[in-house]
Chains A and B, each alone.
Chain A
Amino acid sequence: MNFIIGILFSLVVVGIFVLIPWVGVWAFDLRYLFGIIVPYAAVATFIVGIIIRVLGWARSPSPFRIPTTAGQQKSLPWIKQNKIDNPSGTIGVIIRMALEILLFRSLFRNMSLEFRGGAKLAYEWEKWLWIAALAFHYSFLVVLLRHLRFFTEPIPAFVRWIEKLDGLFEIGIAPFAGFAAPGILISGFILIAALTYLFLRRLYISQTRYISLPADYFPLFLIIGIAATGILMRHMGVFMQFIFKVDWFSVQVVNVKELAMGLVTFNPKIPEGIGTIFFIHLFLVSTLIAYFPFSKLVHMAGIFLSPTRNLANNSRTVRHINPWDYPVHVHSYDEYEDEFREKMVEAGLPVEKMPESQTEDGSGTQEEAEKE
């Protein structure tokens, strides 16, 4: 697919997902639908979808151990084993999985490969993908955990610590009115920056551009939309009021928490004073949650089942029985020959065991066959 079509398609879809709650709340006042029914439905879809997805994977037989990993496997005692990259036991596997899940080790190994000056192939150190992926995933996690302040009462201490740490870089003098109050939380901005980089990288490198599909662009744009609406609500309300004299981005955050607590305690109600922008934010989040199990985003669950990472390389010490073994009807050569021996002899084909009459003669198979 042409990448421009892919990008346009994803942009239009995200645009539609912005317009649906916008029109729905602003024109038709469907607050109950977008504030309560859609989030519940999204979370239910997510939970059921993830369970079905993971159980589906669990039903597929796990393949044999894949020893093609970057490290020396367990061998003779005087050959040093790489216990993390090529583990032979559970502890090594746990360390390898933890490094992969928490630090994205396979992305760290990423190298760029290109032709330099004609036919000369050059490999180059390339860590930007790894850095941007780490920045994106961890800032998204921090943003997610920060939002627990809306879903808990009293707010647990760890949520407040995270927010404190996130707001470490207090900006005294803001670029424009009211930007720095309430305090700047760095994770939201890192999130947008990392996503922008990941999108531009996809476009800039011709190979990734070639293999990119709307399914790759759509989640990027969707999460950018979520982060952007969040930042608009937090930082841009007063700016819009002072400069453009409109109250589009102001949200009464206490009422938002009332809504969230209502959802959590299954006692949902829609408080007043929540602007349309919040419903756009919530609808985009609901879209992301519901889309999760059906898309590439489900690598969150899938990474735990990556066979090159979670299987110890012990093929030489443990016998692995084919897990999908079932009784196969076999027709061994002996049975085959028993069935066709007469005909084989007639056709002059060599047989392992001569028919009774001929073996007694003790003469050669070929000659006997020719005489008959």
Chain B
Amino acid sequence: MYDGWKIIPGLIIFLILLLFPLWNQAFHPGKAGITPNPELTETAKNAEKCIEPKPFMKTQHMKMLDEWRNEVVRDAERYYKSSEGKEYYKSLQITCLECHSNKSKFCDQCHNYMGVDPFCWDCHIEPKENE
């Protein structure tokens, strides 16, 4: 082997960088298995269902909110007709937060897990949570 004293350390450094996720977890023991567990408030539990089915809300709520914002602000369309035909008032603070008032135990659960930083609270007032 030629220049092995340069090539072998180079390879080792590359592999260490490549396998960052593996050894990184060693510094945070027990964190890997923790999965987000959004809690429903009593109001939400009593309502039994959200405005659309759960799988849809899980993947599409951010798009729905984004669309609501544009429609309300730009077109003054204030009412949303759900797939079940029920009408809802398009409002984060009045409609969504009515049930999901527990931001830290509901919204933040997945958002922190995924490193998502939604811009809702740039304009809206964060709900005050009573511990």
A355 CB within 8 Å of chain B: no
Contact A47 B15 (CB under 8 A): yes
Q: How far is the CA of A156 from the CA of B70 in the complex (A)?
A: 33
A117 CB within 8 Å of chain B: no
Contact B59 A152 (CB under 8 A): no
Q: How far is the CA of A254 from the CA of B35 in the complex (A)?
A: 8
Q: How far is the CA of A173 from the CA of B67 in the complex (A)?
A: 9
Contact A252 B59 (CB under 8 A): yes
Question: What are 19 of the A-B contact pairs (CB < 8 Å)?
Answer: A55-B7, A149-B114, A153-B31, A163-B115, A164-B117, A178-B66, A181-B63, A181-B67, A237-B59, A237-B60, A238-B63, A241-B56, A252-B58, A253-B114, A254-B35, A257-B114, A258-B35, A261-B33, A301-B14
Interface string of B3-40 (1 = CB under 8 A from A): 11001101100110010111011001001111110000
B113 partner, pick from A50, A58, A153, A182, beta carbons under 8 A:
A153
Q: How far is the CB of A208 from chain B (nearest CB, A)?
A: 30
A contact set with B: CB distance below 8 Å:
47, 50-51, 54-55, 57-62, 148-149, 151-156, 159-160, 163-164, 170, 172-174, 177-178, 180-182, 237-238, 241, 247, 250-254, 257-258, 261, 264-265, 267, 273, 301, 304-305, 323
Contact B31 A154 (CB under 8 A): yes
Given contact pairs A174-B66, A238-B64, enumerate 5 new A-B contacts (beta carbons under 8 Å).
A51-B11, A55-B1, A178-B67, A251-B59, A301-B14
Q: How far is the CB of B86 from chain A (nearest CB, A)?
A: 17
B62 CB within 8 Å of chain A: yes
A272's closest neighbor in chain B, by CB? B55
Contact A177 B2 (CB under 8 A): no
Total interface residues on B, CB under 8 Å, equals 43
Chain A residues contacting B1 (CB-CB under 8 Å) are 55, 58-59
Contact A152 B4 (CB under 8 A): no
Contact B33 A265 (CB under 8 A): yes
Which B residues between 42 and 65 are near A, CB-CB below 8 angstroms?
55-56, 58-60, 62-65
B116 CB within 8 Å of chain A: yes
Contact A148 B21 (CB under 8 A): yes
B110 CB within 8 Å of chain A: yes
A323's closest neighbor in chain B, by CB? B2
Chain A residues contacting B2 (CB-CB under 8 Å) are 58-62, 323
Chain B residues contacting A177 (CB-CB under 8 Å) are 63, 67
Contact A58 B7 (CB under 8 A): yes
B contact set with A: CB distance below 8 Å:
1-4, 7-8, 10-11, 14-15, 18, 20-22, 24-25, 28, 31-36, 55-56, 58-60, 62-67, 70, 74, 110, 113-117, 119
Contact B59 A159 (CB under 8 A): no
Contact A304 B10 (CB under 8 A): yes
Chain A residues contacting B34 (CB-CB under 8 Å) are 153
Contact A54 B113 (CB under 8 A): no
Chain B residues contacting A152 (CB-CB under 8 Å) are 21, 24-25
Chain A residues contacting B32 (CB-CB under 8 Å) are 153, 261, 264-265, 267
Q: How far is the CA of A347 from the CA of B130 in the complex (A)?
A: 116
Contact A264 B56 (CB under 8 A): no
Contact A254 B55 (CB under 8 A): no
Q: How far is the CA of A327 from the CA of B79 in the complex (A)?
A: 90
Contact A250 B60 (CB under 8 A): yes
Chain B residues contacting A265 (CB-CB under 8 Å) are 25, 32-33
Q: How far is the CB of A231 from chain B (nearest CB, A)?
A: 14
Contact A181 B66 (CB under 8 A): yes
Contact A241 B36 (CB under 8 A): no
Q: How far is the CA of A301 from the CA of B114 in the complex (A)?
A: 32
Contact A257 B113 (CB under 8 A): yes
Q: How far is the CB of A263 from chain B (nearest CB, A)?
A: 9
A51's closest neighbor in chain B, by CB? B11
Chain B residues contacting A253 (CB-CB under 8 Å) are 59, 114
B116's closest neighbor in chain A, by CB? A182
Q: How far is the CB of B119 from chain A (nearest CB, A)?
A: 8
B55 partner, pick from A170, A250, A257, A323, beta carbons under 8 A:
A250
Q: How far is the CA of A181 from the CA of B69 in the complex (A)?
A: 11
Q: How far is the CA of A186 from the CA of B58 in the complex (A)?
A: 24
Contact B59 A54 (CB under 8 A): no
Contact A148 B4 (CB under 8 A): no
